[in-house]
Homo-oligomer: A and B are copies of this chain.
Amino acid sequence: MANDQELPSNWGRWGADDELGTLNLITEEARARGAAQARTGRTVSLARPIRPTPFVSGPFAPLARDSSPVQQIMQYAGDVPATVDMILVTNHHVSSTHIDALGHQVLDGKVYPGHPLAESVTPAGVRHGSTAAFAAGISTRGVLLDLAFDGPLPAAHPITPEDFEAAEARQGVRLESGDALVLRGGWAGVVDFEKPLPGVTLDAVRWMHQRGISLYAGDLGDAYPPLETAVPAPLHRVALPLLGMPLIDVAEVEELAAVCTELNRYAFLFVVAPPRIHGLTGVPVNPLAVF
């Protein structure tokens, strides 16, 4: 990485052993700001549905199938009148809404906030920077910045602080320290690496750092191909490992945007409840916006 000195960083800010990263910014005040948004209880999921691929055996099993983040095995229950199954889950999958743990990215042999990789991530699981940090649940205020209010962002569009502030002005809302930023670029469900994807710039990450964003979720993330060669993936190579900001990849925000427009309200209680499994580099999650 070109010049780490110039990159925004929270290494050391909350101690050498910190595992929460920007979740530290969710103070009592931020939490109450979130709770104040829950009024009618109307709830919207920000997760894409996952249809598992079956493990079917026998001569008539389907021979071709798409890749799914989840593979399901229906189990034999003997003579018990219950049905049971198990699943195999690819935690980081291009079509699964999932949360990245801080140990998911490695920078010069280290994970946030400077822990040696070999001590942090072992063949037997993640010891530092795992999903254990999220296991008790996250709740704070979420704010949607809808950059696709008049249509999807153009291919290869670089998302800048100006885009964020224009959306704030247009929507009459301002992101405060501890809030979760939910971004809509209008690229729902696009998994096509032939076409340049728009994405977040390093300046946008600096802006998030200054504002005190605790958590990022979006239907877009890092651009592909990279916008800047020096720092090719600002969310995954700067925000996550240097700021310690958890990322919710592949969020589904179409219904959310429709509800925000309908209610003319872009803030909500944002509740993220990953399965309480320790030691993972990430895990599928069903983030909920409660209005």
- A185, CB-defined interface residue at 8 Å: no
- A166, CB-defined interface residue at 8 Å: no
Could you give, for residues 201-239 of chain A, a 1 whenever the CB lies within 8 Å of some chain B CB and a 0 otherwise? 000000000000000000000001000000000001000
- A161, CB-defined interface residue at 8 Å: no
A47 touches which one: B39, B63, B103, B276 (CB < 8 A)?
B276
Q: Contacts A74-B123, A91-B57: A38 and B290 contacting too (C-beta < 8 A)?
A: yes
A86 to B86, Cβ gap below 8 A?
no
A58 touches which one: B66, B79, B82 (CB < 8 A)?
B82
Nearest B-chain residue to A138, judged by Cβ: B43
Surface stretch bound by B, among A5-13, A14-22, A92-100, A169-177: A92-100
Could you give, for residues 66-105 of chain A, a 1 whenever the CB lies within 8 Å of some chain B CB and a 0 otherwise? 1100101111111111111111111111110100000111
- A277, CB-defined interface residue at 8 Å: yes
Instruction: Report the Cα distance A258→B73, complex, angstroms.
Output: 39
- A149, CB-defined interface residue at 8 Å: no
Q: Contacts A137-B43, A280-B52: A107 and B81 contacting too (C-beta < 8 A)?
A: yes
- A122, CB-defined interface residue at 8 Å: yes
- The oligomer's copy count stands at 4
B91 to A85, Cβ gap below 8 A?
yes
When distances are taken between beta carbons in the complex, the residues of chain B under 8 Å from A32 are 39-41
Q: A233 → chain B, closest Cβ, in Å?
A: 9
Could you give, for residues 252-291 of chain A, a 1 whenever the CB lies within 8 Å of some chain B CB and a 0 otherwise? 0000000000000000010111111111111111111010
A41 to B51, Cβ gap below 8 A?
no
Q: A246 → chain B, closest Cβ, in Å?
A: 15
Interface residues in A11-67 (C-beta closer than 8 Å to B): 28, 30-35, 38-45, 47-52, 54-67
- A126, CB-defined interface residue at 8 Å: yes
Nearest B-chain residue to A31, judged by Cβ: B41
When distances are taken between beta carbons in the complex, the residues of chain B under 8 Å from A42 are 31
B135 to A49, Cβ gap below 8 A?
yes
A275 to B281, Cβ gap below 8 A?
no
A286 touches which one: B82, B274, B290 (CB < 8 A)?
B274
Residues on A facing B (Cβ under 8 Å): 28, 30-35, 38-45, 47-52, 54-67, 70, 72-95, 97, 103-107, 111, 117-118, 121-126, 132, 135-140, 191, 193, 224, 236, 269, 271-288, 290
15 A-B pairs besides A57-B85, A61-B90 with CB distance below 8 A are A35-B41, A45-B273, A49-B132, A52-B277, A55-B86, A55-B88, A57-B75, A57-B91, A74-B124, A76-B83, A84-B91, A86-B90, A87-B91, A87-B277, A275-B283
